[in-house]
Amino acid sequence: MQDIPVADARTFAIMGHTGSGKTTLVDAMLFKLGLNDRLGLVDTGSSMADFTEEEKGRKITIFAKSFAAPYKATNGKQRALTFVDTPGYMDFYGQVISACRATGTALIAVDAVSGVQVGTRQVWKHAKRAGLARGFVITGLDRDNASYEKALLEIQAAFGNGCVPVSLPNADGSAVLDVLAATNVSDDMAAQVTEAKGALVELAAETDDTLIEKYLGGEALSPEEIAAGLHAAVDSGGLCPVFAAMPLKDIGVTELMDGICRLFRSPLDREILDKDGHKVDTAADAPFVGFVWRSVNDPFVGQLNFVRILGGTLKSDCEIQNTTRDHKERMHTMLRVNGKKQEAVPQARPGDIVAIPKLKGTHVGDTLCDIGGTTVMHGIRFPKPVMFQAVEAKTQADEDKIGLALTRICEEDPTLHVDRNAQTHEVVLQGLGDVHIDVAVGMMKSRSNVEVTLSTPKVPYMETVTSLGEGHHKHKKQSGGRGQYGEVYLRVEPLPEGEEDWFVNAIVGGVIPGNFIPGVQKGLVDGMTSGSIAGFPVTKVKATLYDGSYHDVDSSEVAFKIAGSRALREAMSNAKPVLLEPIMTVKVMIPDHALGDINGDLNHKRGRIMGMEATEGMQVLTAEVPQSELFRYAAELRSMTAGQGSFEMEFTRYDVAPANITQKVAAEVAATKVE
């Protein structure tokens, strides 16, 4: 591939809703490119793309994987193809986001039976936001109830009239016609081909003033002018070419690959800006700039960082600069990875994706440069977790290894997070859905030999007061020798909004000497770790120390610390204490038909609807919902919407829990203490 000019390289990602035929298409392309000696199939576990045990077991793509090979197009020209297969299941959407940073064009698969689905819209939206050119491939045309025309109309209705066919299936589905190259077209296809070709020529002409003048003047554009205009139209987003393919029958795959070579961007076409807005030089002879878009823990070679070459040429056995973290890395070798196959390569150029093993301090989202380079690219912004599970080691042996196992899976998948909650003392694994969490747990077992149990996390409740209350405690103890004595009178009340000084020393006349006041304050700090309702931490409470007494001999800081803590508990009991629960702001994306069900379910979850808007064919419902109702909402929403709904959430504030919830929580805490 090193002999092929960078201008003839194509780097793209294959995306779409789960079940839209992406991986089947990838396997057909790999077979045609000679990377596999047979046509791999997902159903039989022989797919070259879905080769991990996790993917074979679930029969879905879980990890984004890159492939690269030279391709000799039908016109005889040699091209270099680098492409990434991505998951369609929304639990693994972070892999799609990463793949967008590794490629220049998105090829979006649409099933001819199911048509445009929520995943189709989501990948389109992100690819557009990421600045990728876009095209479609309609798959599954050999299935029952498949309709190319219906799928095409849905694509055009959802994404605009710039979505124009460049290949068309014939009436009996035995072949696919290349619209621009088709000759001797049958009568039943002539009208379709003429209409599509006319739309393509018009879009080609619109990319250049000279061409549009020629076109409007009635002159025919040359094949070279049409080709250049269409390439520019795809690059600008004005044209989203629509292909047709039946991968299992090897129909339309060659036409698709030829179309990709003819229409899709080269690495030189795309303008890439760094973090400071400066343009990255994408030429092969420019200074080297690379971006780490994925990291994998390989069982044989250790950590592999997958790098997209943005500009310049990277050669093996050299020193490079991690400009994101400002340190140097020694690189001994780099690999081209095609499924399970790994091949050492001497160099990589713009558009190439290579895996670099054993970089010591480099992670996903980092920028790599030549020594002395200063370019830093934007990191990757991943979606926030929406699924939470408390994780506990099954055995003591697992306990010793669980920390490292969790670190490894989070390094490989940045959409997984681990939170060690200081309040509930739980380790909480956070992800994008129940399948996401289950896969992570399976990987911990298969790769680190660590078994864990999952449970619903404890809610980090808080406690506060709603009125003025007073408390008193005299700590007096005499057991031979020096005794203990300290008496404290406290007043507690809600801490005013914006006020930070929560402790007021109102002692006058020296009834408590100044050297014992810190002891009282320490007692209050300790007392606020456990409220009077159910023992949850106390927040937003103002405490005023206004009276007390001491003993010349028996008083000590410890005695006043104990007196302060117990006086606080009594004062809080008298100040109408309440339980506070965390409230999340939730944005739920659902199709129109599910709106009533989701609205009712959120009301049942004690949610408060804040607003609603329609965007890109979906309803977006914003609500405030208690966190306790949301731990399994990802799975519940998928069930209620047949997989078409998604949501995101973030913490917004603490709010007073209703009386019935308070009673329930207090009873559960009491029962736990008894156990």
Q: What is the pLDDT of residues 64-116, one digit of tens each?
A: 999 999 999 988 899 999 999 999 998 999 999 999 999 999 999 999 999 99
Instruction: Kindly tell me if the per-residue pLDDT of 2 is higher than 80.
Output: no
Does 163 reside within a domain? yes
Query: Cα 60 vs. chain centroid, distance in angstroms?
Result: 17
pLDDT at 366: 97
What are the backbone dihedrals phi and psi of residue 241, each rounded to the nearest 5 degrees, phi first? -65, 140
Are residues 618 and 497 both part of a single domain? no
Q: Which has the closest alpha carbon to 279: 397, 377, 140?
A: 377
Are residues 245 and 328 both part of a single domain? no
Tell how strand 318-322 and strand 452-455 pair up: unpaired
Does 434 reside within a domain? yes
pLDDT at 539: 95
Are residues 438 and 352 both part of a single domain? no
Are residues 554 and 485 both part of a single domain? yes
Report the CATH number that the domain containing residue 647 is assigned in CATH.
3.30.70.240
Does 554 reside within a domain? yes
pLDDT at 666: 93
Instruction: Kindly tell me if the per-residue pLDDT of 220 is higher than 80.
Output: yes
Instruction: Kindly tell me if the per-residue pLDDT of 549 is higher than 80.
Output: yes
CA distance 497 to 162: 54
**Mean pLDDT taken over the chain:** 93
Write b or e for each residue in 341-373: b if 16 or more Cβ atoms lie within 10 A of its Cβ, otherwise e: eeeebeebbbbbbbbbbebeebbbbbbbbbeeb
Are residues 247 and 101 both part of a single domain? yes
Are residues 450 and 509 both part of a single domain? no
Instruction: Kindly tell me if the per-residue pLDDT of 675 is higher than 80.
Output: no
Q: What is the mean pLDDT of residues 331-339?
A: 94
Q: Can you tell me which residue has the tokens 């117990």?
A: 566
Q: At what angle do helices 209-216 and 223-236 cross, to 10 degrees?
A: 120
Query: Cα 472 vs. chain centroid, distance in angstroms?
Result: 52
Are residues 131 and 256 both part of a single domain? yes
By three-state DSSP, how is residue 37 classified? Answer: coil
The domain boundary residue, chosen from 370, 399, 416: 370
- Contact yes or no for 294/337 (Cβ under 8 A): no
Does 109 reside within a domain? yes
Tell how strand 176-178 and strand 167-169 pair up: antiparallel
Q: Can you tell me which residue has the tokens 């000590």?
A: 556
Are residues 407 and 497 both part of a single domain? no
Q: How many CB atoms lie within 10 A of CB 616?
A: 12
Residue-range definition of the domain harbouring residue 297: 289-370
Q: Which two tokens stand for residue 644?
A: 């078409």
Report the CATH number that the domain containing residue 469 is assigned in CATH.
3.30.230.10
Does 381 reside within a domain? no
Are residues 417 and 548 both part of a single domain? no
Which residue blocks in 11-84 are alpha helix, DSSP H? 22-32, 53-58
User: Virtual CA dihedral for 271, 366, 53, 406, nearest 10 degrees?
Assistant: -150
Q: How many CB atoms lie within 10 A of CB 277?
A: 6
Does 541 reside within a domain? yes
Instruction: Kindly tell me if the per-residue pLDDT of 483 is higher than 90.
Output: no
DSSP H/E element including 147: none
Q: At what angle do helices 633-640 and 595-604 cross, to 10 degrees?
A: 150
Tell how strand 302-311 and strand 341-344 pair up: unpaired
Report the CATH number that the domain containing residue 16 is assigned in CATH.
3.40.50.300
pLDDT at 237: 93
Are residues 562 and 584 both part of a single domain? no
Q: Residue 188 carries which side chain, given as an amino acid letter?
A: D
By three-state DSSP, how is residue 329 classified? Answer: strand
- Contact yes or no for 344/333 (Cβ under 8 A): yes
Q: What are the distances in angstroms from CA 441 to CA 84, 125, 402, 454?
A: 25, 30, 11, 9
Q: Which two tokens stand for residue 207?
A: 């990319």
HSE toward the beta carbon, residue 579, CA cutoff 13 A: 21
Instruction: Kindly tell me if the per-residue pLDDT of 286 is higher than 90.
Output: yes
Are residues 570 and 587 both part of a single domain? no
pLDDT band at 642 (very low <50, low <70, confident <90, very high): confident
CA distance 131 to 36: 32
Q: Which two tokens stand for residue 47?
A: 């797919």
Does 247 reside within a domain? yes
The domain boundary residue, chosen from 398, 420, 455: 455
Spatial CB neighbours of 644, under 8 Å, sequence gap ≥ 6: 117, 118, 590, 591, 594
CA distance 203 to 461: 59
Instruction: Kindly tell me if the per-residue pLDDT of 650 is higher than 80.
Output: yes
Q: What are the distances in angstroms from CA 413 to CA 250, 410, 602, 634?
A: 34, 5, 30, 18
pLDDT at 184: 80
Domain total in the chain: 5
Query: Cα 650 vs. chain centroid, distance in angstroms?
Result: 14
pLDDT, tens digit, 9 for 90 and up, residues 230-264:
999 999 999 999 999 999 999 999 999 999 999 99
pLDDT band at 134 (very low <50, low <70, confident <90, very high): very high
- Contact yes or no for 355/314 (Cβ under 8 A): no
Instruction: Kindly tell me if the per-residue pLDDT of 480 is higher than 70.
Output: no
Instruction: Kindly tell me if the per-residue pLDDT of 171 is higher than 90.
Output: no
Q: What is the mean pLDDT of residues 516-527?
A: 96
What does the DSSP 8-state code read for residue 240? E
Helix %, strand %, coil % for the chain, to 5? 30, 30, 35
**Greater confidence, 329 or 645?**
329
pLDDT at 231: 93
pLDDT, tens digit, 9 for 90 and up, residues 378-423:
999 999 999 999 999 999 989 989 999 999 999 999 999 999 988 8
pLDDT band at 481 (very low <50, low <70, confident <90, very high): low
CA distance 621 to 629: 17
pLDDT at 130: 94
Instruction: Kindly tell me if the per-residue pLDDT of 222 is higher than 90.
Output: no
Report the CATH number that the domain containing residue 444 is assigned in CATH.
3.30.70.870
CA distance 573 to 244: 71
Q: How many helices (H) and strands (E) does the chain have?
A: 16, 32
Q: Which two tokens stand for residue 81?
A: 């193809």
pLDDT at 482: 74
Report the CATH number that the domain containing residue 302 is assigned in CATH.
2.40.30.10
- Classify residue 218 by burial, with Cβ atoms within 10 Å: 0-12, 13-18, 19+: exposed
Are residues 608 and 631 both part of a single domain? yes
- Classify residue 396 by burial, with Cβ atoms within 10 Å: 0-12, 13-18, 19+: exposed
pLDDT at 615: 80
Q: What is the mean pLDDT of residues 587-598?
A: 90
How much is the CA Rg of the chain, to the nearest whole Å? 32
